[in-house]
């Protein structure tokens, strides 16, 4: 959990808050707070960049496998389909 001192107030800000912010699901107060203070807290940017990289990697995994890979998998599964164990 991040703890932020702002205007003599301490507002706890969790990784969950940043995750909600990243996906555009944080409440208006939290969103405004993050946007107005993000320059002061580089660890927030680091965490948001890590989220970006992780979601980018997951998005790439969602892409279909290469045709060669798919052909090998289908060939191997087909070759075992009709053989007794």
The pLDDT score that the predictor gives to residue 55 is: 84
The pLDDT score that the predictor gives to residue 57 is: 75
pLDDT less than 70: residues of the chain: 1-11, 59-65, 76-85
The pLDDT score that the predictor gives to residue 56 is: 82
This prediction has a pTM of 0.60
CB 45 within 8 A of CB 38: yes
The pLDDT score that the predictor gives to residue 63 is: 63
Tell me the Ramachandran region of residue 7: left when phi exceeds 0, alpha when psi lies from -120 to 50, beta otherwise.
Answer: left
């Amino acid at each position: 959990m991040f703890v932020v001192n702002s205007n003599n107030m301490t507002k706890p800000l969790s990784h969950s808050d940043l995750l909600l912010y990243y996906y555009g699901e944080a409440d208006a107060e939290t969103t405004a707070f993050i946007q107005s203070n993000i320059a002061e807290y580089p660890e927030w940017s680091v965490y948001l960049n890590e989220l970006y990289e992780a979601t980018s990697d997951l998005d790439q995994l969602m892409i279909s496998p290469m045709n060669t890979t798919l052909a090998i998998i289908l060939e191997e599964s087909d070759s075992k389909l009709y053989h007794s164990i």
